[in-house]
Structure 1
Amino acid sequence: MVNVHTDEFDVYYESHGEGPALVLLHGGGGNHAAWWQQIPHFSAKYRVLTLDLPGFGLSKVNNGVYDTALHPAAIEAVLDDAGVERAFMVSQSLGGYGLLKYATTHPSRVAGVIVTSTLGPIGDEISELNKIGRQAVSHLSVADFLLTKEFREKQPEKVGLFFQLGSFNETGPGRPIRMKNALIGSVAVQELREAIEAGMHVTILEGGADVMVYPPAYARLRELLPEANVQLVEGAPHSDYWENPDRFNSVVDEILDRVYPA
């Protein structure tokens, strides 16, 4: 449990287990504690690093202005402080913005990425298609897009825990301070292609039951970037890591085994 201090922010992170480094980057409704169903599983084989992005959980921004533009620097600060030269990174929703920006600008430090629940940081045609998809669900409440109705009805305890955990954040969905997102559409498809050519594994997961998913955007990404693994996970909602941890962990395991074979 460590706090990293810079001129711009203080970032809290934790390290669990030993082995190749695996960084888990939370979404807008979470923080480091959101991964409580993943840490015991993955720390048996990997050194799992979880962090609070600036403005979430125990991480603070010194000038009080929250922007995803700070996230790549926060990731690097944690890697440096933890003494990690190269890591595999997994993101959920909002965490994908800082992850893809950092990965494409520092490919030598990123063995691979799994981006779940968002195409938001990808530019070019994907950005325009993603806007169409977001507009189609703009009427939904925060609860409606973060957790499925069935899950909210059947597991009220875990629903309550989800939103209690989010209440520790200063910014994010439903929180009092609005966050800017300068990284929307900031990563060109060609940048991803170049990172893959440099040896970085790229998987982008399409949740089959994610209300935020616009299938034509994923279909077009498959055409534009055949070098990447753009993988459909049948039945997966926006917060599959929370609602269906066994499935989420299994999908991630299968991809990690490609990068770190036994």
Structure 2
Amino acid sequence: MQKTHEQNALTVSYTCIGKGNPVVLIHGFGEDHRIWQKQLPALQKNYKVLLPDLPGTGESTLNSEILSIDSMAEAIKLMLDEEEIKTCIMLGHSMGGYVTLAFAEKYPERLQAFGLIHSTAYADTEEKKEARKKSIGFIQEHGAFDFVKATIPNLFAATFNRTHSEEVQLLTEQGKQFTAEALIAYYNAMINRPDRTAVLKEATVPVLMFIGEEDKAVNPADALAQSALPQVCMVKLIPGIAHMGMLEATTTLNETILAFITTIITLKQDSVKA
């Protein structure tokens, strides 16, 4: 069921499917909630799955003057409050991982566990900031969709691009929804976000790190180093894929998420018995 809620200049549109323990899946840059469509069949039978569109995506309106990683985390809180969900499991892909970390920093009591799917707690390096600024310049000169067309294929491993070109093309076509204003606002939000490795170090709940060995957007070595920071962390390093495990390694990601949730529930049950 598609829902929309607005409060204090924040609008969040989201899909809510299934019943059970709440699981929130947050999409990344240049995507919308449909990026998780291959994860839904594995989750919706036993869990209440919430799929938000971040502000500036889908029906979630953009206010570029206030958009930040933190304001997007507030949009997620608005969704949870509207659904009267006190605690959930939250997983974020790429930029969605940045939003997840911001939420975990501000509202740790609302999380049973959280995960970073091809994402990082590090702030942008100066080199990364300059690359993003160049991308902003490209968007301003050539438009949003030309940028999406040039960028999306680079998020996949070369083999997947060759063997699943229709899926890459479909994701590219879905990028037509984005305005230049929205993409630029996302880039500025990512440039300005702080380092959040402390969130991982101080996490009192289990953390999932899902890593692509050929990922060019998130350095696999950096992600592996961060996996040592939480008290409890499930780590999956997958060979042969890059930044888009939802499509490149659907079965592996689904199995990993289900195993992660099972571990969380088991730990919770053990703590109650103790």
The answer to whether the superposition gives a TM-score over 0.5 is yes
Shift of 1:154: 2.0
Shift of 1:10: 1.4
TM-score, normalised to structure 1's length? 0.83
In structure 1, the residue corresponding to 2:242 is in which secondary structure? coil
Spell out, residue by residue over 1:75-99, the C-alpha distance to the aligned partner (whole angstroms, 9 max, x if none): 1000001111100011111101111
Spell out, residue by residue over 1:87-120, the C-alpha distance to the aligned partner (whole angstroms, 9 max, x if none): 001111110111111012211111111101121x
Is 1:207 equivalent to 2:207 in the alignment?
no
Distance 1:108 1:176 in 2: 31
Query: Is the Cα contact below 8 Å between 2:152 and 2:171 reproduced in 1?
Result: no
Relative contact order, higher structure (CA 8 A, sep 6+): 1
Distance change (3 Å), C-alpha of 1:236 and 1:250: farther
The correspondence of residues 213-252 of structure 1 with structure 2, limited to 5 A, is 213-225=218-230, 227-252=232-257
Q: Which has the higher helix share?
A: 2
Distance 2:88 2:127 in 1: 31
Distance 1:223 1:155 in 2: 34
Query: Is the Cα contact below 8 Å between 2:94 and 2:119 reproduced in 1?
Result: yes
Is 1:17 equivalent to 2:18 in the alignment?
yes
Letter in 1 for 2:122: I
Shift of 1:232: 1.9
| Residue aligning to 1:193 | 201
Query: Is the Cα contact below 8 Å between 1:117 and 1:213 reproduced in 2?
Result: yes
Structure 2: 5+ residue stretches without partners: 136-149, 270-274
TM-score, normalised to structure 2's length? 0.79
Distance change (3 Å), C-alpha of 1:7 and 1:183: farther
In structure 2, the residue corresponding to 1:98 is in which secondary structure? helix
The correspondence of residues 54-93 of structure 1 with structure 2, limited to 5 A, is 54-62=55-63, 66-93=67-94
Letter in 1 for 2:47: Y
Shift of 1:207: 1.3
The correspondence of residues 55-134 of structure 1 with structure 2, limited to 5 A, is 55-62=56-63, 66-119=67-120, 121-123=121-123, 128=125
Shift of 1:256: 1.2
In structure 2, the residue corresponding to 1:90 is in which secondary structure? strand
Query: Is the Cα contact below 8 Å between 1:13 and 1:49 reproduced in 2?
Result: yes
| Residue aligning to 2:145 | none
Letter in 1 for 2:237: L
Q: CA RMSD in A?
A: 3.0
Distance change (3 Å), C-alpha of 1:75 and 1:208: same
Distance change (3 Å), C-alpha of 1:131 and 1:88: farther
Shifted more, 82-91 versus 221-230: the winner is 221-230
Distance 1:255 1:102 in 2: 19
In structure 2, the residue corresponding to 1:60 is in which secondary structure? coil
Shift of 1:229: 3.5
Shifted more, 65-74 versus 248-257: the winner is 65-74
Corresponding pairs, count: 250
Distance 2:238 2:184 in 1: 33
Question: Equivalent of 1:158, from 167, 191, 197?
Answer: 167
Structure 1: 5+ residue stretches without partners: none
Query: Is the Cα contact below 8 Å between 2:69 and 2:193 reproduced in 1?
Result: no
| Residue aligning to 2:54 | 53
Query: Is the Cα contact below 8 Å between 2:157 and 2:240 reproduced in 1?
Result: no
Distance 2:10 2:98 in 1: 18
